[in-house]
Amino acid sequence: MSVIDNLNEIRKSINSSSSNANIIVVSKNFSLNSIQPLIDVGHIHFGENRVQEAIEKWSSILLTKVNLQLHLVGKLQTNKVKDALKIFSFIHSLDREKLAIDLKKEEDRSGKTIKYFIQINFDKQLHKSGIDITEADDFIDYCRNQLNLNIIGLMCLPPLEFNPDLYFKQLANLAKKKSLNQLSMGMSADYQVAVRAGATYVRVGSAIFGERV
Ligand SMILES: *Cc1c(COP(=O)(O)O)cnc(C)c1O
């Protein structure tokens, strides 16, 4: 199966759940050679988890493929904010006040604004990333109302050893309560579950490229 066949299969599977969720092809650790066929057929959404890797891989492509949208799905260090804003159209890992403030400052300085998902942490014992669920309500309000960041939705990474459905549904409920329309959830192993729970963006890597080395 080619990467294009794999992407088409995932598209079919999503559509069979009567969903139109966007597929973010997570290309971290894969070279442009592996990714190129998907760019050539016009795929738009690609995800990376490290700013430096994204810049090295994508900078020159973005000059010619102006429709491409890059998504940062991994943790963002504040010293990488400036570079991140240069290359990404979406950040899925907004998870703390200091980062939000720095992103706002850089948006104001550069004049560029992008879209954000706030990453929710449902279990501090199991995860380092994400704003704790108990603080999520206030943090969402803060980012939107005080900082005026363009928060479009919520993101989560469910703990691997648990049924992801419960986490996806909780995320969907919180988004609804906060009137946020976009849900970034579901990876290769669980995107169908996520789609049934209302995902609007799934983040899929290994189901397209095979296992990462
Ligand atoms: C790597 C990664 C993915 C894709 O994972 P696969 O299991 O390869 O589909 C999705 N989301 C995040 C945050 C990731 O780091």
Helix (H) or strand (E) holding 102: helix 97-110
Q: Is the overall model pTM greater than 0.85, yes or no?
A: yes
Query: pLDDT (tens digit, 9 = 90+) per residue, 92-144?
Result: 999 999 999 999 999 999 999 999 999 999 988 887 899 999 999 999 999 99
Whether residue 213 has pLDDT greater than 80? no
Which residue's alpha carbon is nearest to atom 7 within ligand 1? Answer: 188
Nearest by Cα to 22 from 185, 160, 139:
185
Q: Could you give the 3-state DSSP secondary structure of residue 205?
A: coil
Ligand 1 centroid from CA 10, angstroms: 15
pLDDT at 124: 83
Ligand 1 centroid from CA 166, angstroms: 19
Query: pLDDT (tens digit, 9 = 90+) per residue, 14-68?
Result: 999 999 999 999 999 999 999 999 999 999 999 999 999 999 999 999 999 999 9
User: Which atom of ligand 1 lies closest to the CA of 187?
Assistant: 9
Q: Is 50 in the pocket of ligand 1 (CB under 6 A)?
A: no
Burial of 7 (0-12, 13-18, 19+ CB in 10 A): buried
In the chain the domains, ranked by start, together with CATH numbers, are 3-209 (3.20.20.10)
Which residue's alpha carbon is nearest to atom 10 within ligand 1? Answer: 203
Interatomic CA distance for residues 197 and 175, integer angstroms: 12
At residue 134, what is the residue type?
Answer: T
